[in-house]
Amino acid sequence: CLSTDKNAGRLGCFGWLLVIISLLFVALTFPITLFLCVKIVKEYERAVIFRLGRIADRKPKGPGLFFVLPCTDNFVKVDLRTVSFDIPPQEILTKDSVTVSVDGVVYFRIHCPISAVANVSNAHSSTRLLAQTTLRNVLGTKNLSELLSDREGISVSMQEALDEATDPWGIKVERVEIKDVKLPQQLQRAMAAEAEASREARAKIIAAEGEMNASRALKEAALVIGEAPSALQLRYLQTLNAIAAEKNSTIIFPLPIDMMQGFMQKK
């Protein structure tokens, strides 16, 4: 990360005079000021040095040892590790006028320490507040069905919007996730009733289709038995065999319809 300010590091004549005096002071009191001049930053940290209020170099220092002048320099440490935070539940009105409560989580890191120090007062707090407003703005353009079914697409949209907005602050938004979507109790009951009615309708349609297929199969079986009357007797014997296998003492004797028709004609 390099500074884009062309005047960075230009101290002027008076500034250089103060720097020279500071160097002479360090040289005269070297053993004493050694601990004030030598600083250490860790592998995941960088130091932005300000010399007389200006950024000293075009790039941050670290990791490891670096030197500062005790009278003219001060520095700010910046952590480059990925930081995560929860977005508090937000009451959002969707595009189809449904009020829902949505929360999420954001993962980001600082990729340009100089921009994170010089361009924004508090990078972490600003990113948190911006994530809340971005969540409201993105979800306000979605329907409830899209919110419930397309969480991945919404997360990508939020990540792109946050990354673009925080880029001047030296922040890279790595990931955004929607954690939970809470619906009002009345809407939950209405959706549950709708789903139950839909399942019942599908069950009735399936049962009706089964009855229709069964009636067609019975019609075909009746045509086959009508062509071969002995097949009915074989079917009767198979039924008796099935009843006997279950140790049932009840035996059913079918009465042919033709016999009843004969009695009816005599009457």
- Angstrom distance (rounded) from CA 156 to CA 23: 52
Class of domain 82-183: alpha beta
User: CA 75, 77, 80, 86 torsion: positive or negative?
Assistant: negative
pLDDT digits (tens, 9 = 90+) for 86-125: 999 988 888 888 888 899 999 999 999 999 999 998 999 9
pLDDT above 90 covers a percentage of the chain that reads 27
User: Is residue 80 classed exposed, middle or buried when 0-12, 13-18 and 19+ CB atoms within 10 A define those classes?
Assistant: buried
Res 9: pLDDT: 52
Q: Give the global pTM.
A: 0.65
Q: How would residue 32 be classed by pLDDT, with cut points 50, 70 and 90?
A: low
b/e per residue, 52-61, with b = 16+ CB within 10 A?
Answer: bebbbeeebb
- Mean pLDDT for 224-250 is 71
Residue 13 has pLDDT above 90, yes or no: no
Average pLDDT on 20-42 reads 68
Question: Mean pLDDT score of the chain, rounded to an integer?
Answer: 80
pLDDT at residue 134 greater than cutoff 80 = yes
Q: What is the largest CA-CA distance in the chain?
A: 142
What percent of the chain has pLDDT above 70? 76
At 83, is the pLDDT very low, low, confident or very high (cuts 50, 70, 90)?
very high
Domain boundaries, the chain: 13-78, 82-183, 190-265
Q: Cite the beta strand spans of 170-216 per DSSP E.
A: 171-182
Amino acid at 127: T
The confidence score (pLDDT) of residue 2 equals 58
Report the pLDDT value the prediction gives residue 31, as an integer from 0 to 100. 63
